[in-house]
């Protein structure tokens, strides 16, 4: 009977066994590490998405976030019903100087801080003087500052004791060119709902039937 193992095989088999065992286990280790890395990557990605959604308020259960601002302007403009009512009422209330109450308030707010005034500070003054919302007051403050910054040279002459004959026309022309379009866009209202200048030389004449308002005739005593 021949031996089961030929000479030399007794040593070869035990020596090869560990090597064969190691070769079979290595792919399992690599695959385990690979799958673990994939799982960790997915978990990290999901956490990142969750944080991003939390930051934009997807999981918020409270009041919705305020509307985003375009520059310094509110997305609401002056469209609140209370703001519209105030502008219509005060914009048609005539004062002794011939101007309307609302635009006179804007001028007074600017006179209090003619150089250092900002849209925010003039707007705060408008809120106090007219009771419009802070968003609407800010927009009127922005218009006042635009008039000062863009049309100071053209409009300062209107404040002289004896202004040139065309001073009001040149001031209005500058304001209408540089500030009016932006004002209408940001207030988000038809021009017919905004206060209008009483003086025909100061209006923009871009709102037919509304650009120029004349004070109503004064009632005679006992009339």
- Contacts of the segment 189-194: beta carbons below 8 A, 24+ positions apart: 189/77, 189/78, 189/79, 189/84, 193/84, 193/87, 193/88, 194/87, 194/91
Give the model's pLDDT for residue 215. Answer: 57
Q: How is 195-222 classified by DSSP, letter by letter?
A: ---SSTTT----STTTS--PPPPPPPTT
Per residue in 60-80, pLDDT tens?
444 333 333 334 456 889 999
The tokens 């150089």 sit on which residue? 115
Give the model's pLDDT for residue 114. Answer: 87
Give the model's pLDDT for residue 46. Answer: 65
Per residue in 169-183, pLDDT tens?
999 999 999 999 999
Per residue in 116-153, pLDDT tens?
899 999 999 999 999 999 999 999 999 999 999 999 98
pLDDT band at 197 (very low <50, low <70, confident <90, very high): confident
Give the model's pLDDT for residue 51. Answer: 44
Range picked from 18-22, 105-109, 204-208 for highest mean pLDDT: 105-109
Give the model's pLDDT for residue 12. Answer: 46
Helix axes 101-111, 119-130, angle to 10 degrees: 140
Give the model's pLDDT for residue 119. Answer: 94
Give the separation between CA 195 and CA 217, rounded to whole angstroms.
18
User: How deeply is 218 buried, as exposed, middle or buried, from its count of CB atoms within 10 A (0-12, 13-18, 19+)?
Assistant: exposed
Give the separation between CA 30 and CA 26, rounded to whole angstroms.
6
Per residue in 5-56, pLDDT tens?
445 444 444 545 444 544 455 455 555 666 666 666 675 566 555 544 544 3
């Amino acid at each position: 009977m021949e031996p089961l193992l030929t000479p030399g095989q007794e040593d070869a088999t035990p020596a090869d066994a560990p090597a064969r065992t190691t070769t079979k286990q290595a792919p399992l280790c690599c695959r385990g590490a690979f799958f673990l890395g994939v799982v960790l990557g997915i978990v990290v990605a999901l956490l990142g998405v969750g944080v991003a959604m939390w930051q934009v308020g997807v999981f918020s259960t409270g009041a919705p976030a305020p509307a985003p601002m375009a520059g310094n302007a509110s997305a609401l403009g002056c469209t609140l019903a209370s703001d519209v009512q105030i502008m219509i009422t005060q914009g048609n209330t005539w004062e002794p100087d011939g101007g309307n109450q609302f635009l006179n308030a804007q001028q007074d707010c600017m006179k209090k801080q003619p150089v250092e005034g900002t849209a925010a500070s003039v707007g705060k003054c408008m809120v106090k003087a007219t009771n419009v919302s802070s968003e609407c007051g800010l927009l009127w403050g922005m218009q006042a500052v635009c008039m000062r910054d863009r049309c100071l040279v053209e409009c300062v002459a209107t404040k002289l004791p004896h202004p040139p004959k065309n001073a009001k026309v040149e001031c209005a022309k500058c304001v209408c060119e540089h500030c009016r379009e932006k004002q209408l866009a940001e207030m988000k209202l038809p021009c017919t709902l905004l206060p209008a200048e009483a003086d025909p030389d100061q209006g923009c004449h871009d709102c037919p039937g509304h650009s120029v308002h004349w004070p109503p005739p004064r009632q005679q005593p006992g009339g």
